[in-house]
Amino acid sequence: LAGPPSPPGRAPPGWRVPVDCVRANELCAGEPSCSSRYRTLRQCLAGRDRNTMLANKECQAALEVLQESPLYDCRCKRGMKKELQCLQIYWSIHLGLAEGEEFYEASPYEPVTSRLSDIFRLASIFSGMDPATTSKSNHCLDAAKACNLNDNCKRLRSGYISTCSRELSATEPCSRRKCHKALRQFFDRVPGEFTFRLLFCSCKDPACAERRRQTIVPSCSYEDKEKPNCLDLRGACRTDHLCRSRLADFHANCQATFQSLTSCPGDNFQACLGSYAGLIGFDITPNYVDASTTSTTISPWCSCKGSGNMEEECEKFLRDFTENPCLRNAIQAFGNGTDVNLSP
């Protein structure tokens, strides 16, 4: 549904291709031994404490059996049917095991194998424009026009814009919950060649950058009366399966690394941009902090004020948005219409 057609699953050699958790759950339910162990493990994990759980022989046995079942390695797909159900199954196993205090959690989503170049190829067909000749134009305006020429994009975009700009009362500028839901629908159901162009268009003047900042209707979806502490925001996000998964996915795909040229894991810009877009419409919604054209700073609506002894951790979390070379390079590369040339 979402995303451009990608080459068939390019799993790293030697790895087994995981099935999705909904399917894995069905497979497990069909097998009496698996389903009873799964029930046992869920009961073990309901207690939430990993150490007491591992001390219990029955729990340990259940865990060992399940490690061999497809449930253990199962993943989910962004925007798949029953995505929430899939994630619930995933976290029902991983929540208690993943210690719960890890800074970066493993992503429950399948790795993205498609590349930015796939988007550029499609985008140029859609727009009929050569990116080189449009250097003078407002790319963000072009992106809006391109979206309006596509029925699906136009419908979902006007959907979220009208929801997010509907004033409820003098004290309540909008329904944030509905606005977030509409934004999630837009970014889940509209292909990246439209959504990425709106979100990551490159700008040379403030008017364009302001339009880019306004893409997600930040007055409703982003800004709030007060800025919470980032760790508080992360805590709130982690209580929600969907938000938790999207955040883990963002960390998996955008976490800066020294081990690649672009600072992105596997030099995959598309994966990073996709998981960035996947955060929009949650508590942790990121956005451009201003309409500056020279330095694009991105942040969720939070600060590290009041972190106490956790300030280091808080700033580390915030820096993954504000000073992330992988994210910055990915946005820049998208704006320039360049991608990493993959060596075969």
Partner 1 sequence: AALGLYFPRKEYLENVYIDEPAGMPLLRIHALRDSHEEVAHFHLCQNLVISRARSHENNWFQIKEKKGVLYLSKSLDREDFNMLSVGNWMPLSKVMLYVFLSSHPFQEKECDSATRTTVVLSLINATAPACSSLTARQLCFTEMDLSFHIKENKPPGIFHQLQLPSVHHLCQNLSISYKLLAAEGVPFRYNETTTSVQVTQRLDREERERYELIAKCTVREGLREMQVEVPFLVNVLDEDDSPPFLPNGTDTADAVVEFSRKEGTVLSTLTVYDADTTPIYPLESSRKKYTGTIITDDPWISETFRVEHIFDEIHFSPNGSQVRGTRHEYKLVLNKSILVTEHRSFQLDVLVNDTEFHGPERSVMLHFNVSILPVSIQFSNITYQFTVNRNAERFAQIGKICIENCMKFRGVNITYKLLSPNASCYPVSILQGREDKYGTLYVNDSSVLRRPECKEIQYTVQATDKQSRKHTKTLLTVVLEGTLLKKEEDCPDSCAMSKHRAECEECGSLGVLTGRCQWRQGSGKGITTNYSTCTPSIKTCPDGICDVVEGRDPAVCPQDCTSGNIIGGHGKGIGNLGIKSGHGICYCFPRQNCYCEKDDIKEQLCDGVCKIVI
Residues that bind partner 1 (CB under 8 A): 12, 14-16, 51, 54, 67, 72-73, 93-94, 97-99, 103, 106, 111, 144, 148, 158, 161-162, 165-170, 228-229, 231-232, 235, 252, 258-259, 265-266, 305-313
Q: How far is the CB of 132 from partner 1 (least distance, A)?
A: 26
Q: How far is the CB of 296 from partner 1 (least distance, A)?
A: 23
DSSP alpha helix (H) spans, the chain: 21-29, 32-46, 50-55, 57-67, 83-97, 116-127, 139-148, 151-164, 176-189, 192-200, 206-214, 218-221, 230-238, 241-254, 269-277, 311-322, 325-336
**Closer residue to partner 1 (CB): 197 or 337:** 197
**Closer residue to partner 1 (CB): 120 or 302:** 302
Q: How far is the CB of 143 from partner 1 (least distance, A)?
A: 11
**Closer residue to partner 1 (CB): 314 or 331:** 314
Q: How far is the CB of 227 from partner 1 (least distance, A)?
A: 11
In DSSP notation, 182-200 reads: HHHHHHHHS-HHHHHHHHH
3-state secondary structure of 76: strand
- The residue assigned the tokens 């970066």 is 104
**Closer residue to partner 1 (CB): 93 or 119:** 93
- Structure letter (DSSP) for residue 208: H
Residue 316 CB contacts under 8 Å (≥ 6 apart), including other chains: 103
**Closer residue to partner 1 (CB): 121 or 149:** 149
3-state secondary structure of 228: coil
**Closer residue to partner 1 (CB): 298 or 310:** 310
Q: How far is CA 206 from CA 133, 194, 290, 321, 330, in A?
A: 21, 22, 9, 21, 21
